[in-house]
Amino acid sequence: EKGEEGFAEKPKYEARVHLRQYPGGQAEWDSVYDALEAARAALSEMLAAAKGRLDAAQARYDAVKGARQGEDSALGGCLVLVDLAGADYDSRDVGAGGHTLQQRKESADINKSLLALKECFRSLARAPGSKPRPPFRDSKLTRILEDALAPAARSHRTNRESVSVMLVNVSPASNLERMTTNALRYGQLFAAGRKGGGGAAAA
């Protein structure tokens, strides 16, 4: 028979069953009823402890929420300065008078990062054949610049309003014509991204 709290009333008859917990023998009951009562009491204690932790977490959440919704506010922002340095043209061999293996590896990493950045520019400018979402995860450089270059709609993160500026350094020297042309193309892609991306300017 069940009382108001489930097992408040003992049954009219009960079998004599000895229950023990091993090892240690910390729990011992003379009947199934006593075992169920002990289990119910332990469960009640667990639920009470869990409710206490939940109430504490709710109180912390309310405090944080109240702080964020307070009347006092402050302006904040982030300034990121990146020197792209240009492509690393390395035609020298490894050995005497040339680059070491470590230097060659660094050159390859530089060019890889610049290529990833170019693909991001092409995607933001919606150039033909470009990826629909800028591949910001392809290099550490593009991961750093993601918040500055991409709006929330085309980024993996929720970005706030941002403004980006690129300074393109060119040379009138004829022997640097190829490098100058590539630099200007980077600037054009960056400026074209203003329509598909956030605020941007190239100079």
Q: Where are the domains of the chain?
A: 101-195
pLDDT at 185: 86
Is residue 21 over pLDDT 60? no
Q: What is the C-alpha to C-alpha distance for residues 192 and 195, in angstroms, rounded to an integer?
A: 6
**Phi, psi (deg, nearest 5) at residue 200:** -155, 160
Mean of the per-residue pLDDT values of the chain: 71
Residue 200, strand partner residues:
164
pLDDT at 198: 45
Q: What is the C-alpha to C-alpha distance for residues 155 and 139, in angstroms, rounded to an integer?
A: 15
Instruction: Decide: 134 and 124 in contact? Cβ < 8 Å.
Output: yes
Q: What does the pLDDT average to over 2-26?
A: 51
Query: Is the bond preceding 23 in cis, omega lying within 30 degrees of 0?
Result: yes
pLDDT at 194: 64
Q: What is the C-alpha to C-alpha distance for residues 94 and 106, in angstroms, rounded to an integer?
A: 13
Nearest to 131 by CA among 121, 139, 140: 121
CATH of 101-195, one of 1.20.58.980, 3.40.109.10, 3.30.360.10, 1.10.1660.10: 1.20.58.980
Is residue 169 over pLDDT 50? yes
Q: Which amino acid is at 99?
A: H
Q: Is the model's pTM score more than 0.85?
A: no
CB half-sphere exposure, 169, CA atoms < 13 A: 5
pLDDT at 170: 85
pLDDT at 109: 85
Q: Which residue has the higher pLDDT, 132 or 63?
A: 132
pLDDT at 67: 53
Among 38-47, 64-73, 131-140, 147-156, the minimum mean pLDDT is found in 64-73
**Phi, psi (deg, nearest 5) at residue 76:** -140, 160
Is residue 54 over pLDDT 80? no
pLDDT at 56: 72
- Residue 19 DSSP symbol: E
Is residue 120 over pLDDT 70? yes
Q: Cα–Cα–Cα angle for 182, 187, 188, nearest 5°?
A: 95
pLDDT per residue as tens digits for the range 81-116: 888 766 666 555 555 556 778 878 888 888 888 889
Q: Which residue has the higher pLDDT, 92 or 170?
A: 170
pLDDT at 101: 81
